[in-house]
Chains A and B, each alone.
Chain A
């Protein structure tokens, strides 16, 4: 039970990053290899705001998330926009380039030493029956659940959400209806980047904040996406959660040093046995 709780918490992080990853695939057909860097940057902004500038914790969070949303727009304008008519591969390469650039930028500006941040709450956690709920893991799960609910509400209940969906399903048709397609794509980038940033901020108190976290998180998000079903939103969430749980159980019962290998293993198993993932894509790209 304890392990399930921990796995669920770490899985929620993967789910958030995977969600941002999937949204970009759907809205802009962008396979973003910089998704892990979004989390890394979010965590570093938190380090700078809270540790370095000594801003209040909540203010640091709000500023970091807002800055990450703005960063998403900059990221889109530089890595995606100039190449948007060139098809998938040039943009993929451009996001790989951006991710390398961002990691090195952080190394230059902040330095290679890993940083640590405090958790959301001072209290270590609460005991519920046999399970000790660590306050940070609990925060992760609650925030992730709220974000998923919020996203669902926006996508399913608002006109903006419908326009975002329409843009992801058929950009040319959306433009013929007068939907500002470029704005919709920028909104998606901003949201995706903010989601990654929030994941980074949430996971920072558990991991050390370092440039290495980016690649690791990106790999997990990618694996979550394949496990859940490529391009599927519920798949990203379930894929992330199941990955977190498998990884935690694996570390506990099989081997701690090989913890990260379980993601690879699960990815390989799914690619071999069920390449369409848990949720095979039901909606074709075009009607």
Chain B
């Protein structure tokens, strides 16, 4: 079902300032139509990777190439913590910002844009809230609004940074359905998330980061290799060599220290 490589990363590194090496020589391929989870502990460079993919950051070194040599249009849902949640905008305003890449400063918002925005709001169950100030929204409603913006953008590539934080179980399963629908429509979806249950159940492919890329490929394979595992805290991810040595990891670390 998945197609040709759409996005190819070669030895991509990102350094913030002069010290913080957020990504170190990450290589990998995202194929057209794939549904990929990006996992890793806090500070492991997941958001940084997504920003590189989205074009927010340029790699300090390494390259990113696209099939056909043209960057596909991407819809990007940034991590909640990077947004200003009390900016004086209405819910509909925010969904309409999804058209900014297309419209820029000059071209006006047309009726078809409003129709698309309303439709997207309906799909996430916020149709009654279009005129609400966003400061009034709960965490879950806010995420649903951001999903509506992604929908309205109607892009072939979708990048989501922890879209299920602060979202209850019911809403999560509802948003997952949207995500699976995008996958069925043939879009390429790349999603940062921490919930291993969700990753195992819904994401055919994964990439595990910890500064470096510890592994990527079929999710079940990564679970077999214990790169993704329910047994260990994600914060204690080790390098692949440690894993292959097949020690009880925490015990090994204790001997060392």
A binds B: no
